[in-house]
Amino acid sequence: MKKLVHREVMRVVEDVRIRQMRGGTIVTREALTSLRAAMQDSKTKTANEFLAELEENTRYLTNIRAASVPLANGLRYVVQEVRQAADRGVGINELKSVVSDAALAYGRKLDDSIEQVAEIGARRLRNGDVVLTHSYSSSVLAILKKARQQGKELKVFVTETRPELEGRDVARELAVAGIDTTLIIDSAVSHFIEDADKVLVGAEAVAANGAIVNKIGTATIAAVAHGARVRVFVAATTQKFSPETMFGELITIEERDASYVLDDLELRKMPNLRVRNPAFDVTSPQDIDLIITERGVIPPQAAIMIVRDQTLASNFTS
């Protein structure tokens, strides 16, 4: 059988690449939706062929964002559910339903987890707090909006988050939510950090040692905050904890197109000029005070326990 990547999957991958969708949670939802559409359209005749097509499409989707652990975990969950169903001998139509049900279930779990993170995180913010944030995070936005709904008056510094400027989207959302928001350039963090009570950022991934992978610049901000004795909080659902890092695997840091920094025409005029544009960096656990999850607030050193629990649960059900 010729294995094909479905057109809807290819469309989503290209859409994410061009638009650079904000946040790992949003990307994960888009990927799972496209996978549901792809497998509903499957013309395979046997369970083995269906599984092969499913795995081909999930491999392609994983390449959207190599550092995104919720994406990898979501796709892994769907494949695992389908394999178990295939082992039980169910037919193709039933396998299609399993894909759909598993993708929807994982999406609901993500939504529920973010809601719980918002509740727990909002309790960590006091009325009058000044918070500094960087990059786009669904969990961070949920916490700040929940605190505002609770009647807390906050002031938030939001970095532009160059070169893709997703911080502008964050600033707009917070302002619409009635939160006192100030947009700053990335390089002004050290200037404003003394005015902040807390730094609150999201994560693309959390490693077993408590380090986080997040938008480039996060590590610098955390180090500056640490030096200024400003506490650094990370908002991350447990779907973002990476089981591979428990066994020494490193999370891939992708580099994005140079055209986000300099346009192609200018680059072609200067053949001796190179542009490096890494999308993410790694923040040391020594520069993180707390990680806010739907299971509660933990120090970064406790990340290994969540990763271990998830690994054991996965091994038990597989």
What digits encode the pLDDT tens for the residues 234-266?
A: 999 999 999 888 777 777 788 888 888 999 899
DSSP 4: -
Torsion sign (Cα): 18, 24, 26, 29? positive
Domain 7-114 listed as CATH 3.30.70.20: no
Residues 48 and 90: beta-carbon distance below 8 Å = no
Nearest residue to 243 (alpha-carbon basis) of 152, 172, 318, 165: 318
CATH for the 123-317 domain, from 3.30.230.10, 3.40.50.410, 3.40.50.10470, 2.60.40.420: 3.40.50.10470
Tokens of 293: 């999850």
Tokens of 289: 């005070």
The pTM for the full model equals: 0.88
d(CA 295, CA 137): 18
Q: Where in the chain is the domain with CATH 1.20.120.420?
A: 7-114
Q: What is the pLDDT of residue 314?
A: 58
Digitized pLDDT (tens) for each residue of the chain, 318 residues in all? 445 788 888 887 777 766 555 677 888 888 999 999 999 999 999 999 999 999 999 988 887 777 788 888 899 999 999 999 999 998 999 999 999 999 999 999 999 999 999 999 999 999 999 999 999 999 999 999 999 999 999 999 999 999 999 999 999 999 999 999 999 999 999 999 999 999 999 999 999 999 999 999 999 999 999 999 999 999 999 999 998 887 777 777 888 888 889 998 998 999 899 999 999 999 999 999 999 999 999 999 999 999 988 776 555 444
Give residues with Cβ within 8 angstroms of 131, minimum separation 6.
Answer: 125, 144, 154, 155, 156, 157, 196, 197, 198, 199, 200
Q: Where in the chain is the domain with CATH 3.40.50.10470?
A: 123-317
Region label for 94, one of left (φ > 0), alpha (ψ between -120 and 50) or beta (otherwise): alpha
